[in-house]
Amino acid sequence: MASNSDNSHVNISIEVPYEDKKISEIICSPRFEYVAALDEDNNISLWSIASSQETFLKKIKTILIENISTKKKDERKFAISDNKYVSIGLNRVDPYNFKIFDFETPDKEIKLKFPDCQKEIDFLYFIDTGNIVMINTKYYRAYVFSNKDSITWVCKSMIELKYFKKIYIAPKGKLIIFNDTIYEITVWDIEDLSIKTRILLDWNYILESVEISDDEKLLLVCAINKETKETNLYVFSTETGMNLAFFTTKYVIDGFHLIASKKGERLLLISGNHHYLMDPYYLRNPINANVLFEEKQVQEPYIIRSDKIIYTKDGTLSIKKLVRDDSNDWVEYLRKELKDTNSITSPSEETIKTISSTGDYNGGRKESIGKFLKWGLELDDKSVTITVIDYNYRTNEWNPDDKKKQLDILPSLKNIDENNFIVHCEVLENDDFVTITRIGIFIWTYKLSNIKMHYYWNDWNGRLEDFKFETTKFKDLFKNLTSGRILPASSYETILKNLDIKFLQKEKKERKELFKEFLDDNIVEEFYLTCYGKFLMKTLIKLKDDKWIRSLGHGCIDKCTVFNNHILSKISLLSIIFENFKELSENHPAFIASALSLIGFVAPSPTVNPKSFSSHLSSYGKYYHLSKTSYLDRLNSIFWDRWISFQEYFQNKFQKFRESHPLFEDLIVKSIIDFYNVSHSSTILAIPLPNFVSYPKDYNFWRELVLPSSNAFTHSNKLEVINEEFYRYLNGEALLKFKWNTFGRKYYLATWAIYTVFLFSFVIAATCYENISQTNLFILLYITICLGIWHLFFELRQFIFSPLNYVFSAWNYFDLGAFLLPIISSIIWLQTNVMPTELATFSTLLLEIKFFLFFRTIELFGAYFSMIFRVAQRVFSFWVILGFLVFAFAHSLHLLLRPAANVSLDHPSYSTDPNDPWNLATTYNTIDSNGSIEENSSLIEPPTADTNMFMMMGSSILAVYLMLTGSTTPISHWNLYGNPALLILTIIFFFVAFIYLINLSIGLLSNEISETKTREASLILKAEILEEIESLYMLPYQRRKENWFPFVVFYECHIIKLREHVMYTLKDKWTGYKKPYISNNLNEALLLPEEQPSSKHIQGTIKDLPTLRQIEKAIEDIPILKQIEKNFKELNELKKSVEELQNK
């Protein structure tokens, strides 16, 4: 079959003679039914796995394809499906650079139609659903094709991948993407484009290859450090994203595979001709497994999958089982043949089945023999002892009894003795020992030559003294639990409520607290921490156990710090803390503050970029969210192609011009570069708060539209103490800057623009209504009403989201006034056709003030706005006290100075009441020609409401407020000497309110202004704006965008500014909870001065030294003493120089 290309052709020869050519590449189908092999002469052969015998695969057909392209690095187009479809890369472009055909009808090429007319594919995979997944690396785009008929496939979806360095596709349709800008691996479901897990690698380790388990619960990652030549092998849980274990070696790792996942799981590690087995949950003590391959004469290439190996042998394909079918046989083989004594994480299904289907309990047999451990029970007077003897592989017999280990497990509880405590016991296939007792189910393990409690279950959740044992209770314990890779979490609540229970150790004559030891192991050992840490933290939060919360939290942080550096591959452990941020910050703020100090400066690498053009605290790396390709994405691809072509064309022309005009290069180009050179030295920091900004993945669209869900970030803004602590560090500021630049400013400017239209529509109508037509006036008023209702809708959402916070915030009432008054004014105006002047006046005032408040996000104004708001909040209670005082004096003066009878300001009352406004009004007398005042003739100025402001209670309050400002006008109409009561009240008021309280208010304001941390306050104000944007203006699906709400954020810091900030935090003026932790990476990047040892540290160092000479040497080596000695020498030299000058 020939292609349509002029310069290439493809010929297919069916059933060519096959002469055992050397096979260069083999691949298998997603469900492991067929294998396709490509030999050195471009023959492709199809082999059946299902119908094959034990040793050799059955060859079905061989065809010859010409013009096959040479496989490039990081490229894969050779693939096979379970329906015998095969794809292969070709040296052609038209119609595309690959070919897909059915092995049954190889002469008919499968027709594909790309929506964007794509012609080049770099990766092609068949997945277990029968679909084809193809990747184009140029546009970072994926295509999913489904089968319409035997020769026609349709594009089911087209996906924007945004960016990747490496990409893998699992047989079940999971996309595994490596982002080298932030060393992150993400796993996506290609069907619904949901993210399944996010994993961080240690920086400077480049991803080499990945392997995913058959059930897709474990992800194995191999990464290499090019500088140190070290290789790290990681095992991650795809359910939690946590690093279960990692292994570092100087050897080259050629391959790694998980085998025996349902029997006794092992990681098979291949390095050259050496093969090793390790427990994937610990990755310690590699066991030589060369014997597994000795009889197979394995040649490259080969495939290891589903516990089988398919390998080439003299041009044919052979298949062998690596793992024995029966799990007991496999475990026995590990123990006795390979001498593998590493722990085995038994499949939980088998363990649960063993516990819940034991039938009649055996009452505790005296001896239970496993594969390499022999467990026993010894019942003595008031003791129940577990004993264990391990198998000696050197002598091929059990160790003698004198090497027996034992542990007494009888608790000090009433109604329990050695005769009735053990109900049933049995050895599991992984050599762990299960005991069903009257207080619960225990699983014991033998580790580091000691018997340890491995699991404990009892859903009583109370004191064990009150627990009543029932025979059927424990059999039903696991009935509703779904089995997984590991066993369910232990009953932590029951354990925590019984930590004080003693277990008598008869041999050592001591009492052990086994539950407490078990809890300590769950915090110290990484297996428990990664698998069950989240369950334990939730239980501790429920019980509000601050001591153990601190212990667990610091255990997580300690695991993330190795050799005084933060390990990014372990950062996911911190999700145990920060996924429970709300509860921890409310009830355990001191712990959260301490945790923030330990992760305030996380430097992934000590590398410094000397020529960075990024701004300080700008985000670093690329963050992406997979989405369906839109028409706009296709246009962007076209324009991007044009832009790249133009750049290349311009660069070529400009380069030629520079070469032909050397003076232009020297005089102009270099001068311009030097003038505009604004580069800085910078380094990278991380914000190690996993899922701190992420929202729950499962949600109901309509419910969340009304009641938005929250995350740790939005909740943190409600706690002032934690808020201030968080924003003291650069992490807080960098996070806000990332959010603002990514999405915040877009939403904010859009909201501001809508409000501006709302403002101007009303203000123009109110100001220029006489100069505009009636039609235009009505249009402006209708716009005001519509946009006002739009704003009120978001106010309603804010109230629903947090009713109490909304009610108790004065600013919300201000916003309501700014929205309601223009709406009401516009409605009245439209109905009466007359502008309500007073309503319009206050509406305009509130609208314009609120418009000015939009400037609070600008750094120039933000600090002052935040200062105004914060100071007002803090002195509000004082102003309330002052208000009550004003009311009290106003009430007293109202009672004293109000008229005795009702009076009218329009008609004289002719009374003798001294408080009558007519008697207080100003009187004018006439003067005769002799200059004498005529008392019988006078003119009275009619009184006003200001003459006696104490007539009404409302005006009395206004009068006292004026007096509070220092004005005596309200009482100037009375003769104080003739009114002693008024005189006393006036003296008291001016002394207490004016002299004391007003000056006290000024002092308080001054103190609050000086104590207000403007930087933190302005950041908190910006955080509140971002919280409002996320909660009120975003749609639910937008809150799930991974590029807007990433797992961990990285940012770039200018070295000079970062050093200043770090040095400030290390000073005694630092107001944080505690001084932050400084890692070696950060120290190396910033070249920080050496920290002087504390007196406590010096004392501890000296105490550990055995001889006096060593103590003297240690004291001499103290940096500060060396500096003092140096200064003394310099002073002595200076003194000698001065004396010599004097003598001269």
Centroid of chain to Cα 676: 38
Calculate what percentage of the chain has a pLDDT beyond 90: 32
Most distant CA pair in the chain: distance in Å? 149
Highest mean pLDDT among 505-519, 532-546, 685-699, 856-870: 532-546
Q: What's the whole-model pTM score?
A: 0.84
pLDDT for res 269: 92
> Partners of 169 in the beta sheet?
175
**Cβ of 304: how many Cβ atoms within 10 Å?**
19
Centroid of chain to Cα 587: 21
Angle at 29 between CA 63 and CA 96, to 5 degrees: 60
Structure tokens belonging to residue 916? 């009558």
Task: Give long-range contacts, CB 8 A cutoff, 24+ apart: 424-427.
Answer: 424/358, 424/361, 424/362, 424/363, 424/364, 425/362, 425/364, 425/365, 425/368, 425/375, 425/377, 426/354, 426/358, 426/362, 426/368, 427/368, 427/369, 427/370, 427/373, 427/375
> Partners of 930 in the beta sheet?
none
Q: How far apart are CA 645 and CA 639, in angstroms?
A: 10
Angle at 388 between CA 382 and CA 391, to 5 degrees: 165
Computed over every residue of the chain, the mean pLDDT equals: 84
Confidence bin at 1 (pLDDT 50/70/90): very low
Q: How far apart are CA 674 and CA 74, in angstroms?
A: 40
* Torsional sign, CA 777, 782, 787, 793: positive
- Could you read off the pLDDT of 379-388 as tens digits, one per residue? 887 788 899 9
Higher pLDDT pick, 13 / 406: 406
Q: How far apart are CA 870 and CA 883, in angstroms?
A: 20
| Position 340, amino acid | D
What average pLDDT score do residues 595-618 get? 90
Place of tokens 């722990």: 343
Whether residue 466 is predicted with pLDDT greater than 50 in this model: the reply is yes
- Could you read off the pLDDT of 551-589 as tens digits, one per residue? 999 999 999 988 888 999 999 999 999 999 989 998 998
Whether residue 692 is predicted with pLDDT greater than 70 in this model: the reply is yes
**pLDDT-wise least confident of 2-6, 791-795, 954-958, 1109-1113:** 2-6
Strand stretches in 115-172, DSSP E: 123-126, 132-136, 141-147, 153-160, 166-169
Whether residue 440 is predicted with pLDDT greater than 80 in this model: the reply is yes
Region of 43 please: left (phi>0), alpha (psi -120 to 50) or beta: beta
> Residue 80 belongs to what H/E stretch?
strand 79-80
pLDDT for res 1142: 65
pLDDT for res 7: 40
pLDDT for res 884: 87
Classify burial at 73, counting beta carbons within 10 Å of its beta carbon; exposed 0-12, middle 13-18, buried 19 or more.
exposed
- Could you read off the pLDDT of 152-190 as tens digits, one per residue? 788 999 999 989 999 999 999 999 999 999 999 999 999
Whether residue 262 is predicted with pLDDT greater than 60 in this model: the reply is yes
Calculate what percentage of the chain has a pLDDT beyond 70: 88
Confidence bin at 630 (pLDDT 50/70/90): confident
Confidence bin at 666 (pLDDT 50/70/90): low
Higher pLDDT pick, 622 / 931: 622
Q: What is the DSSP string of 1007-1060?
A: HHHHHS-HHHHHHHHHHHHHHHIIIIIS-TTGGG-TTTS-SSEEEEEEHHHHHH
* Torsional sign, CA 12, 18, 19, 20: positive
Higher pLDDT pick, 1044 / 905: 1044
Q: How far apart are CA 727 and CA 734, in angstroms?
A: 9
What average pLDDT score do residues 941-951 get? 82
- Could you read off the pLDDT of 1004-1015 as tens digits, one per residue? 777 776 666 677
pLDDT for res 195: 92
pLDDT for res 633: 84
Question: 164: which residues sit within 8 A by CB, 6+ positions away?
Answer: 137, 140, 177, 178, 179
Phi, psi of 151, rounded to the nearest 5 degrees: -125, -5
- Looking only at the bridges linking them, the beta strands covering 184-189 and 255-259 are unpaired
**DSSP-derived 3-state class of residue 232:** strand
Are 129 and 173 in contact, with CB atoms under 8 Å apart? Answer: yes
Q: How far apart are CA 554 and CA 286, in angstroms?
A: 30
Structure tokens belonging to residue 635? 């246009």
- Could you read off the pLDDT of 32-79 as tens digits, one per residue? 889 999 888 888 889 888 765 567 788 888 888 888 887 777 788 899
pLDDT for res 4: 35
Question: 36: which residues sit within 8 A by CB, 6+ positions away?
Answer: 26, 27, 28, 44, 45, 46, 47, 78, 79, 80, 86
Are 525 and 568 in contact, with CB atoms under 8 Å apart? Answer: no
Region of 1132 please: left (phi>0), alpha (psi -120 to 50) or beta: alpha
What average pLDDT score do residues 330-345 get? 86
Are 104 and 47 in contact, with CB atoms under 8 Å apart? Answer: no
Higher pLDDT pick, 777 / 316: 777
pLDDT for res 556: 93
Confidence bin at 2 (pLDDT 50/70/90): very low
Whether residue 903 is predicted with pLDDT greater than 90 in this model: the reply is no
Higher pLDDT pick, 715 / 506: 715
The C-alpha R_g of the chain, in whole angstroms, comes to 41
> Partners of 136 in the beta sheet?
141
**Cβ of 941: how many Cβ atoms within 10 Å?**
10
Highest mean pLDDT among 338-347, 452-461, 912-921, 1114-1123: 452-461
pLDDT for res 242: 92
Q: How far apart are CA 60 and CA 1051, in angstroms?
A: 56
Taking CA atoms, 438 is separated from 391, 481, 506, in Å, by: 31, 22, 20
CA dihedral 321→325→326→331, nearest 10 degrees, is 30
Centroid of chain to Cα 84: 44
Are 143 and 114 in contact, with CB atoms under 8 Å apart? Answer: yes
Q: How far apart are CA 232 and CA 224, in angstroms?
A: 6
